[in-house]
Chain A
Amino acid sequence: MADAQLEDPRFIEKLRQGDRAAFGQLVRGHHNMLLATARTLLNPADAEEAVQDAWIAAHRSIAKFEGRSLLRTWLTRIVINQAKMMLRKRGREIQFDPTNDPDALAHRFHDDGHWQHPPQHWELSGPDNLLTREELRRCMEKHLHFMPDTQRLVLELRDLQGLPAEDVCNMLEISASNVRVLLHRARARLFEMVDHFQETGEC
């Protein structure tokens, strides 16, 4: 999660007054996070360009930032707008329809809604902690990479960056229930992947 200092009102005031060193701190602290967001929608080269352009846009309008949202929400929104613009140039658009991808956990339940294949036990502490195993980490990266863009984006914003759900709805211009469904689908995929790994030792 980002440094609390970068949301401090005094720091933001310096930015608004055009303090170069403060802007440098902002770039240093947030660039890689913003790049991770852009990469959920764009290839690495386009993502880098989108974030560079976002810094230009942010630098130009920081004096008008009123602090009605977190500063990193404001920055993320700029990056997403740049990414959308770039997609449009390439003749693409993001589709936030969550219904075209099934729930990865659906097959685990009986028709009556009870568990048919309940989750395996995962060892979560000590040196045998399943989640710290190197093969599992690699497998997770792979699944994150192949996840539908919109699920990956919502997961990135909510679970990796911890942005408020309301901010995510606003910046993506989708309903709260669509954000909930996309997030659930993304999490269900990962849960299913880890549980499969626990059961079979395979990715």
Chain B
Amino acid sequence: MLKCKHVTEKADALVDGSTLSWRERLALRLHLLMCGHCRRYVRQMGALLGFLPRQETPLEDAHTEVILKKLDSLQDS
């Protein structure tokens, strides 16, 4: 029988979709069916990862141009 401590370790794979063997997946699902604390852990961890502060803003055009100019100058020389 899986212990809660191990569930929190294995749950990483559930949260990010990594591969688990069917045996591991089944054991995990069975445990979660019976354990509300672990269900809460998995749900909240998933939500937390979705809220991490991501860096997605594109670089401003002016700064992009500076980098391109530098590349041009290296190519010419």
Interface residues of chain A, those whose CB is within 8 Å of chain B, are 1-2, 20, 23-24, 27-29, 31-33, 35-36, 52, 55-56, 59, 105-106, 109, 112-115, 118-119, 121-122, 124, 131-132, 137, 140-141, 144, 155, 158-160, 165, 180, 183-184, 187-188, 190-191, 194
Q: Is the interface of A mostly helix, strand, loop or mixed?
A: helix
- Tell whether B24 is near chain A: CB-to-CB under 8 Å: no
Chain A neighbourhood of B54, CB < 8 A? 1, 160
- Shortest CB-to-CB span from B51 to chain A, Å, is 4
* A121 lies within 8 A of B40 (CB): yes
Chain B neighbourhood of A114, CB < 8 A? 3-5
Interface residues of chain B, those whose CB is within 8 Å of chain A, are 3-6, 8-9, 12, 15-16, 18, 37-38, 40-41, 43-45, 47-49, 51-59, 61, 63-65, 67-68, 70-72, 74
Which 3 residue pairs are nearest across A and B when measured between Cβ atoms? A113-B3, A118-B37, A36-B55
Q: Is the interface of B mostly helix, strand, loop or mixed?
A: helix
Q: List 7 A-B contacts (CB under 8 A).
A: A32-B55, A33-B56, A106-B5, A119-B37, A124-B44, A141-B53, A159-B52
Report Cα–Cα, A1/B18, bound state, in Å: 18
* B59 lies within 8 A of A183 (CB): no
* A119 lies within 8 A of B41 (CB): yes
Chain A neighbourhood of B5, CB < 8 A? 106, 109, 113-114
* B3 lies within 8 A of A112 (CB): yes
Chain B neighbourhood of A144, CB < 8 A? 53
Chain B neighbourhood of A2, CB < 8 A? 56
Chain A neighbourhood of B74, CB < 8 A? 56, 59
* B51 lies within 8 A of A131 (CB): yes
Report Cα–Cα, A124/B4, bound state, in Å: 23
Report Cα–Cα, A71/B9, bound state, in Å: 31
* B4 lies within 8 A of A187 (CB): no
